[in-house]
Amino acid sequence: MTPWIMDDNSSDRLTLGRRFLEPANSNHRQYEALRAFFVEGLPSAEVAARFGYTPGSFRVLAHQFRTQPERDFFLPTARQGRPSSKQKRLRDLVIALRKQNLSVHDISRALARDGESLSPAAIAIILDEEGFAKLPRRRDEERPDHPRPTVADPADVRQLDLSPRHFRTKFGGLFLFLPYLVPANLDVILARCGFPGSKMIPTGCAMRSLLALKLFGSARHSHVMSSVFDEGLALFAGLNVIPKCW
């Protein structure tokens, strides 16, 4: 009986060959990418583009392999059961969005706009399983457009506006202490004690800022961030705005 032999020109070779060129899981994808770089000698940028990595994330992957070359590529990834079609679709969406250089929070918001719910933590796990490295920290102008916190002006006594005006404040009670604070000559006492200060935030302004928070009953100085736009608090300190916490 003549054994069956596949013809070298069979179309099956091309079809099956694509299984190697288009990895279906993160281990296979990492293996093929690292093999192309270390064995075939392809440039790092070309390998990253072929296998869907950013240049930076592939450099991280290559570095990790250099430090741990004995890692296993052919063990199946431990997962609980077979992923559902929805889980696979969400995973594919996450991968596609990361290839657009979106962060885990950007991806979560993009999915939410399409009616899908996936937390940034869950997205980070998927990206880690797929071999994506964390994105470098981006400047504000590099981030996608979405509502951002209002930026307060820096505290600077030279920008203090004492022109007559009306405003609302929740710190009005602080001004009841002024008749006691003025005779105490706080600025003179602080100067004798050598307390630090600057041209933008003199010593007296800095100490009145801290004193205002204690008089008003704020338990922690970090809680001032919710009141940085209150003109009354800034006026009591003698500044244009209250200093922000570091």
Q: Report the chain's mean pLDDT, rounded to a whole number.
A: 79
What pLDDT is recorded for position 87? 81
pLDDT tens for 5-25 read 445 555 666 666 677 767 777
Take residue 93 and report the two structure tokens written for it.
């969406």
Q: What's the pLDDT tens digit per position in 200-221? A: 999 888 888 888 888 877 555 5
Q: What does the pLDDT read at residue 78? A: 55
pLDDT over 60 at 170, yes or no: yes
Mean pLDDT across 34-47? 90
Q: Is the pLDDT of residue 140 over 80?
A: no
What are the tens digits of pLDDT across the range 45-88?
Answer: 998 888 888 888 889 888 888 888 877 766 655 555 566 777 88
- Per-residue pLDDT at 4: 47
